[in-house]
Structure 1
């Protein structure tokens, strides 16, 4: 009977791990290739939701997101402050992301004391809402252009 308890306990740990894994930030979601980062900053669009600037580039046909976080050393000399802000931005991303097929860079542009987590979280939620709207507008425009009669029929 002791073995049964240990097996059921082991299964419950596996279930707990499965639930926790859903909210992780895997390496596949990190934007790291120099060529992809260059393409993001040359061909991407940028907008500001204070204190976070978002630079994004949609990848047609892709469903997964890739992200990077930037906190400039010019504004925060102490590594402790930079790491704190990066950790807060990654956490807000991890909890509020949607699979929309975008490469995105989050740059912290605020100055002074590091912003509270709630401030960063509100900015990240606004950024995701805007990214989803942008994706929907692009999809609507693409379907509108595909059905505009250029199929070669008629005359």
Structure 2
């Protein structure tokens, strides 16, 4: 038979979905993030983060970007963005520790490297960047 197991309602694991509400799409918030946010690098990634005191639906909103300057082909940019989103999705369980004082965190994850890196390196750097955000 199949190897899939059924979970009851009490045993539901933490949701690892990267839902639409978690994506940063507001032009106003993006401008505010880059104007007022603090940033640091975890090469090949750059993190820009800003805490907003007002409470909104998602506790964290994330923006992922890859430079067109270094990756001319959309195929390469899209692959790197998929890798970053997947690494974030798998490590986002660290984020609730960030939100101890309430409000909303908005985070931009920018790929600043000039070469394509494998997923394990991107994931490791994203994880270390999220941990650094927690200690700030």
Residue 66 of structure 1 corresponds to: 61
Match of 2:71 among 57, 76, 97: 76
Bigger radius of gyration among the two: 1
What is the alpha-carbon root mean square deviation over aligned residues? 1.9
Structure having the higher strand fraction is 2
Distance in 1 of aligned mates of 2:39 and 2:113: 16
Distance in 1 of aligned mates of 2:45 and 2:69: 16
Higher relative contact order (CA 8 A, sep 6+): 2
Match of 2:135 among 125, 133, 136: 133
SS in 2 for 1:54: strand
SS in 2 for 1:53: strand
The alpha-carbon deviation at position 64 of structure 1 amounts to 1.0
Match of 2:110 among 107, 112, 133: 107
Structure having the higher helix fraction is 1
The alpha-carbon deviation at position 37 of structure 1 amounts to 0.3
Instruction: Give the gaps of 5 or more residues in structure 2.
Output: 1-5
Which 4+ stretches in 1 moved above 3 angstroms?
12-15
SS in 1 for 2:132: helix
TM norm structure 1: 0.71
* Pair 77,59 (structure 1): closer, same or farther in 2 beyond 3 Å: same
SS in 2 for 1:121: helix
Distance in 1 of aligned mates of 2:48 and 2:21: 19
Aligned residues: 119
